[in-house]
C-alpha cells in the first residue's frame, strides 16, 4: 500500500514516466490498427493521465506535509522567524537538554541572536516514517554559521525530528541532533555550539 501511495501521490517523476510508457503503448496500438476503439483508448488514456496528474498536485500526503514543514523550519532558522518556529512546535514539546517548549524556544532565540545562520537548506531526507498520527523524519541539513569568534561554511548536520498530528496539523514534538560536522550531536550542546 505504501508503494502505491508513493507512486500516485509523492513521486511525480516515476508517475510521469509510467504515463509516458502507457501513452506510448496506446499510441503504438492506435497507429497499428487506427480504429474508433483505439482512438477512444487514446483519449481515455490522456484523460486518465490528466486526472492522475491533477490528483498528484491536489493531494498532499502526510509524508509530503512533513517534508514541507521541515523545509519551512529550516527556512525559519535561516531568516530567523521565531514566530514560525514557535507555531511549529507542539505544546507538549520536550527536549531532554532544555526542558519544555518555552525553555527550548528561549534557548533557540538566544542562539539565533548570537549566531548568524545563512544558506540553511535541507540537503536530503534519509527517511520519513508515519503511523497513527505520529511520525519521524531524519534529514541532513547544511548551513553557513558565523559568530564573533567562529565561522563555518557549509556545515552539515543530521537531525531527527518527531512529529504528532493534532487537529489535522503536524507539529514537532521532539528534536535530536544526531551529527554536526564530524561530531556526534548527542554528545554536544547544539544550542551552544
Fold for the domain defined by 62-187? Nuclear Transport Factor 2; Chain: A, (3.10.450)
Q: What is the mean pLDDT of residues 26-53?
A: 96
pLDDT of 2: 74
- Which of 49, 46, 51 shows the shortest CA–CA distance to 27? 46
Contact residues for 86 (Cβ-Cβ < 8 A; gap 6+): 105
47: nearest Cα among 75, 26, 78, 74: 26
> Mean pLDDT across the chain, nearest whole number?
91
Q: Determine the pLDDT at residue 93.
A: 95
Supply the pLDDT for residue 185.
65
What would the grid cell of residue 150 be? Answer: 567562529
Are the C-beta atoms of 140 and 126 separated by less than 8 Å? yes
Kindly list the distances between the CA atom of residue 192 and the CA atoms of 97, 110, 113, in Å, as whole numbers in the listed order: 11, 9, 12
174 vs 90: CA distance, rounded Å: 9
Confidence at residue 193, expressed as pLDDT on a 0 to 100 scale: 44
Q: What is the pLDDT of residues 122-163, one digit of tens each?
A: 999 999 999 999 999 999 999 999 988 888 899 999 999 999
Residue 159 contacts residue 138 (beta carbons within 8 Å):
yes
DSSP symbol at 188: S
Mean pLDDT value across residues 41-46: 97
Q: Tell me: the pLDDT tens digits for 70-125?
A: 999 999 999 999 999 999 999 999 887 888 999 999 999 998 998 899 999 999 99
Q: How many CB atoms lie within 10 A of CB 173?
A: 19
**The pLDDT of residue 140:** 96
Backbone angles phi, psi at 158, to 5 degrees: -120, 125
Amino acid at each position: 500500500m505504501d508503494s502505491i501511495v508513493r507512486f500516485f501521490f509523492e513521486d511525480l517523476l516515476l508517475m510521469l514516466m509510467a504515463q509516458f510508457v502507457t501513452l506510448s503503448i496506446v499510441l503504438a496500438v492506435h497507429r497499428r490498427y487506427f480504429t474508433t476503439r483505439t482512438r477512444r483508448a487514446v483519449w481515455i488514456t490522456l484523460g486518465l493521465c490528466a486526472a492522475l496528474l491533477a490528483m498528484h498536485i491536489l493531494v498532499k500526503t502526510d509524508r509530503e506535509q512533513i517534508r514541507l514543514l521541515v523545509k519551512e523550519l529550516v527556512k525559519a532558522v535561516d531568516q530567523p522567524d521565531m514566530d514560525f518556529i514557535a507555531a511549529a512546535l507542539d505544546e507538549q514539546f520536550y527536549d531532554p537538554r532544555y526542558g519544555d517548549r518555552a525553555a527550548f524556544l528561549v534557548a533557540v532565540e538566544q542562539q539565533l541572536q548570537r549566531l548568524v545562520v545563512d544558506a540553511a537548506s535541507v540537503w536530503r531526507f534519509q527517511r520519513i516514517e508515519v503511523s497513527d498520527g505520529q511520525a519521524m523524519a531524519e534529514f541532513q541539513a547544511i548551513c553557513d554559521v558565523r559568530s564573533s569568534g567562529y565561522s563555518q561554511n557549509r556545515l552539515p548536520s543530521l537531525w531527527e525530528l518527531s512529529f504528532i498530528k493534532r487537529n489535522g496539523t503536524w507539529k514537532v514534538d521532539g528534536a535530536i541532533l544526531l551529527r554536526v560536522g564530524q561530531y556526534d550531536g548527542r554528545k554536544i550542546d547544539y544550542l551552544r555550539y
